């Protein structure tokens, strides 16, 4: 016990002696903390000896100071460490805020909210709109469902797509609708799966252009027509009653959908042009459920139908024309023509008489708007100016204005149509025979040699009979003949009466087999829907001195 007491007394005495030789000096730890740390003012020569050692490690405060010179600027006064003048190594002064420097070294001082400046998480809906998930929104939906006007909601919301880019509202709306219609894209999405997504819908317009400028009314119509059946209605060619009737129709079914192109400003929202599908309609409150594809900006909401109608009337600055809406469906018996996927042709010829296609894809400048403009404006104008006096001249005017790639499009469409027809007849192997029969029967039309002579003026007659006793078929002349037979009669309204009667006579059933008539009717319906969708000028447009193009 005595020995322990002596030892404790000795330790206490040494501690007091050291404290007298090394007086304490306090320095603030940091500007945001009231605690302090202790440093010593060295008077002992032993410290000099340590500093003179070449292998000595700088104090932690020195290391932190070197780091802090590159990481932050301190406004506090640095504390100094006094060393003997005989020392050959003078350490740099320690940082005034070593703890802050150490925290900065660990990344603890980074402001996590700095990257969120000037960004947004959704917007507040205007008071005139009702959030779908609110109590009132749920009540409106229950009423709509009980009345049978929420049928479109279920396939759409089951395939809801939030746009992957701020300007992708159009492609996202279309992808949602196509998936709701259960359309097979015939194109790989990811892995082994085929599926529609907005980044794959780059027909009629490149993805880069859409990312920067978005998509216009006509471009959306072109994009939709490449994948489905579409009827485009641009304001002000339709009345409020017509719009309301279409809304009632599509919300009561699940095989046709409505995508509206409108101005957000009219709804009291930020931004301007936008596309979104309609999911339901409440006839009692006259409100429409808008499934907004920009879910990061606005949720789905109920909007008064008259307000939504008015939101399509403001002029789009990009096109100089108002917006509108689209009715989108899918007919498996008449698959859509995809202008974005014409295949490059080589010189090989298949047994059907069609040139085989290679695996490479050739981009094209075609779009449905320009093709519709050909039928609505360019061909009728040239017919009127040139005033053909022979059928060859009239056919030449038509084929000269139709893009050459359109022949391949017709061929691809006929092939797809034949496959669908053969599958419907449970004879999938008959598609090639169908095309062969179609081409052979087309050559029997009295219009075929006239078209052939127009295309090949240097050749006196169509090709000779082959070894099988069948006439050799020129696919370009055959499909051009089908196109002339199926083209709208308005193209030839300025021709002399005898030429019009001759063309009408060639369209009689006695000159067409069942296969040819089926394709001619398909082409005629295709062109009719094309002109209906893209050639609507609307009241007031033709009254201008230089009216914009109908298409």
Residues of the chain by 3-state class (helix, strand, coil), percent to 5: 45, 15, 40
Hey, is 410 helix, strand or coil? helix
Closest CA to 86 of 26, 55, 28, 42: 42
Length of the chain (residues)? 551
How many angstroms separate the Cα of 388 from the Cα of each of 356, 385, 391? Answer: 36, 9, 8
Pairing of strands 188-190, 130-131: unpaired
What count of other Cβ atoms lies within 10 Å of the Cβ of residue 330?
A: 21
536 close to 322: Cβ distance less than 8 angstroms: no
Hey, is 216 helix, strand or coil? coil
String of DSSP letters for 164-213: SSTT-HHHHHHHHHHHHTT---SSEEETTEE---GGG--SSS-HHHHHHH
Catalytically active residues are 169, 274, 292
Sequence-ordered alpha helix ranges (H) in 22-159 = 45-52, 60-71, 98-105, 135-147, 153-157
CB burial readout 526-536, b (16+ within 10 A) else e:
bbebbbebbbb
Closest CA to 334 of 110, 523, 81: 523
Cα 251 to Cα 243: distance, rounded to the nearest angstrom: 12
- Is the previous residue joined to 236 through a cis bond, with omega within 30 degrees of 0? yes
Please state the φ and ψ torsions of residue 31, each to the nearest 5 degrees.
-70, -20
Token pair listed for 441: 């029967």
Residues with Cβ within 8 Å of residue 511, at least 6 apart in sequence: 445, 446, 447, 505
How many angstroms separate the Cα of 499 from the Cα of each of 492, 502, 532? Answer: 9, 5, 26
Q: How far is CA 41 from the centre of its chain?
A: 70
Strand partners, 328: 230, 257
Token pair listed for 3: 């020995």
Cα 224 to Cα 369: distance, rounded to the nearest angstrom: 12
463 close to 471: Cβ distance less than 8 angstroms: yes
Cα 528 to Cα 507: distance, rounded to the nearest angstrom: 16
Cα 486 to Cα 414: distance, rounded to the nearest angstrom: 13
477 close to 455: Cβ distance less than 8 angstroms: yes
């Amino acid at each position: 016990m005595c020995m322990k007491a002596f030892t404790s007394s000795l330790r206490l005495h040494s501690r007091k002696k050291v404290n007298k030789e090394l007086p304490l000096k306090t320095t603030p730890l940091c500007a945001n903390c009231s605690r302090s740390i202790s440093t010593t003012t060295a008077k002992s020569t032993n410290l000099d000896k340590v500093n003179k050692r070449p292998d000595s490690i700088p104090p932690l405060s020195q290391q932190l100071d070197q780091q802090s010179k590159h990481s932050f600027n301190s406004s506090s006064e640095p504390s100094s460490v006094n060393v003997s003048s005989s020392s050959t190594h003078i350490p740099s002064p320690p940082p005034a805020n070593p703890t802050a420097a150490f925290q900065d070294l660990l990344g603890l001082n980074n402001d996590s909210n700095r990257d969120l400046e000037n960004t947004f998480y959704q917007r507040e809906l205007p008071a005139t709109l009702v959030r779908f998930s609110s109590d009132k929104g749920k009540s409106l939906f229950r009423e709509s469902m009980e009345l049978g006007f929420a049928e479109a909601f279920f396939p759409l919301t089951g395939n809801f797509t939030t746009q992957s880019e701020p300007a992708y509202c159009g492609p996202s709306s279309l992808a949602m609708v196509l998936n709701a219609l259960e359309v097979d894209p015939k194109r790989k999405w990811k892995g082994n799966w085929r599926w529609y997504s907005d980044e794959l819908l780059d027909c009629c317009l490149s993805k880069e252009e859409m990312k920067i400028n978005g998509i216009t009314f006509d471009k959306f119509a072109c994009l939709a027509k490449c994948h489905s059946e579409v009827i485009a209605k641009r304001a002000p060619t339709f009345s409020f009653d017509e719009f309301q009737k279409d809304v009632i129709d599509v919300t009561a079914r699940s095989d046709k959908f409505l995508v509206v192109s409108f101005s957000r400003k009219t709804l009291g929202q930020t931004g301007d042009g936008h596309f979104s599908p309609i999911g339901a309609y409440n006839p009692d409150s006259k409100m429409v459920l808008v499934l907004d594809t920009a879910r990061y900006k606005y949720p789905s909401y109920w909007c008064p139908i008259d307000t939504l109608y008015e939101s399509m009337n403001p002029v789009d600055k990009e096109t100089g024309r108002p917006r509108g809406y689209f009715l989108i469906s899918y007919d498996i018996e008449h698959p859509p023509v995809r202008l974005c996927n014409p295949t490059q042709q080589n010189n090989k010829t298949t047994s059907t008489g069609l040139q085989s296609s290679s695996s490479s894809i050739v981009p094209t400048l075609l779009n449905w708007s320009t093709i519709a403009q050909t039928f609505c404006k360019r061909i009728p104008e040239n017919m009127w100016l040139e005033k053909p006096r022979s059928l060859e001249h009239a056919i030449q005017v038509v084929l000269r204005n139709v893009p050459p790639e359109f022949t391949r499009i017709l061929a691809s469409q006929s092939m797809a149509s034949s496959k669908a027809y053969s599958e419907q007849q449970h004879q999938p192997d008959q598609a090639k025979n169908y095309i062969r029969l179609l081409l052979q029967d087309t050559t029997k039309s009295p219009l075929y040699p006239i078209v052939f002579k127009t295309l090949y003026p240097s050749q006196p007659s169509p090709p000779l009979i082959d070894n099988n006793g069948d006439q050799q078929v020129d696919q370009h002349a055959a499909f051009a003949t089908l196109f002339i037979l199926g083209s709208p009669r308005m193209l030839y309204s300025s021709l002399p009466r005898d030429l019009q009667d001759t063309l009408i006579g060639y369209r009689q059933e006695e000159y067409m087999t069942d296969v040819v008539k089926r394709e001619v009717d398909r082409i005629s319906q295709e062109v009719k829907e094309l002109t209906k969708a893209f050639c609507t000028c609307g009241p007031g447009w033709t009254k201008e001195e230089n009216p914009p193009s109908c298409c």
